[in-house]
Amino acid sequence: MAVQISRKGFGRLPDGTAVDLFVLDNGRGLQVSVTSYGAIITSVQAPDRNGTRGEVTLGHDSIEPLLARHPYYGAFVGRVANRISDGGFTLAGTRYDVVNNNGGVHLHGGERGFDRFVYEAETEERDDGVFVHFRRTSPDGEEGYPGNLAVRRSVGVTDDMRLVLEFEATTDKTTVVNLTDHTYWNLGEPTIMDHEVQLNADAYVEVTDAIPTGKTPAVDDSPFDFRTYKPVRRDFEDVLKTGANGFDHSWVIKGWDAGDTSRLLEAGRARCAATGREMIVRTTYPAVQFYSGNFLPGQTGRDGSTLTGQEALCMECQYYPDSPNRPEFPSIELRPGAVYNHRTEHEFRTF
């Protein structure tokens, strides 16, 4: 079966706006579902070592729970992913106050981030797969950000077992942008504590209460060393001793060059011995936020069950947290006439 894409209704918003669901299938076991509401990835199914296709994400299969608050299941995150401290930032000499929605901190775009709007959508067939493009313009002042920002999130599936995510933005006024994908991954076990993770990073972004200190220490002799595969649980208790609730940090991807942001580099890998699934993540971004599902307790799973924590992990490719307030970090400033353009790929294999 060739790579194909289908479109169907996914319900309506309270105001009657219709929402669609797009199902992308490569005919080899990789199937991705994404909705025009929030450009949210609702499902990813991939084969195990026996060729049996199964769900590898957390999420919901209907519109109603997505309209309520949820932990960014499959979300398109923006205008700025991760955290911004100090209630805002100064850009070109002007102070901008953004919405603080997480205990005095701005998180994942604010109270109404990019995952809570309906997008215009169109499909495309390429030589290697199928894509759906979601477009919207975020108006000047939305959540406190300057500039009218035209954004595009594209989700694609290829015949060679890759989920492709593309991010593009332009602005009419100098602003800041850091877009990412917040899909939760579980390759086939009750929790991800026995998943093995590898990160292509010699350094990580040090944080205090989830806010960067500005330092990027080496991972040597620390629980943050994932340069070779290791189970998530191996150094988990040592991370808790640092005051964190688990892994929820950005790692500095080796080889990234601010002068050439088009290079696709390996960010990391995850694998599950129980099912033989392996996921390889590549990106043009400078960092990957590895999150071990620390705040999932009390959330609702796909089957309606109540989660207890560590049911899934995230590998969010992006710029560093709090970049607008950290001039020592790679800049996320976007000016009129420039194009923000990044790509992340998730390749699925078995072993």
**How do residues 1-23 score in pLDDT, each as one tens digit?**
589 999 999 999 999 999 999 99
Contacts of 198 (CB under 8 A, 6+ apart): 226, 227, 228, 229, 230, 268, 269, 270
Q: What is the CATH number of the domain that holds 163?
A: 2.70.98.10
Average pLDDT score over residue span 110-124: 98
Q: What is the pLDDT of residue 13?
A: 97
Report the alpha-carbon distance of residue 257 to residue 244 in Å, rounded: 29
40-91 pLDDT tens trace: 999 999 999 999 999 999 999 999 999 999 999 999 999 999 999 999 999 9
Residues known to be catalytic: 182, 316
Beta bridge partners of 340: 169
Is there a contact between 301 and 307 (Cβ–Cβ < 8 Å)?
A: yes
What pLDDT shows up at residue 2? 87
Beta bridge partners of 231: 196
Q: DSSP assignment, residue 178?
A: B
Residue 122 structural domain: 4-350
Q: Which of 178, 180, 149, 150 is nearest to 75 (CA)?
A: 180
- What number of other Cβ atoms are within 10 A of residue 242's Cβ? 13
Q: What single letter denotes the amino acid at residue 70?
A: H
Per-chain mean pLDDT for the chain: 97
Q: Quote the tokens at residue 264.
A: 């696709």
Helix (H), strand (E) at residue 82: none
Which H helix or E strand runs over 65? helix 63-67
264: left (phi over 0), alpha (psi -120 to 50) or beta: beta
| Element holding 240 (H helix, E strand) | helix 236-240
pLDDT at 30 over 60: yes
Tell me how many domains the chain contains.
Answer: 1
Tokens (6 digits) for 49: 């070592």
Q: How far apart are CA 133 and CA 329, in angstroms?
A: 30
**What's the pLDDT tens digit per position in 284-296?**
999 999 999 999 9
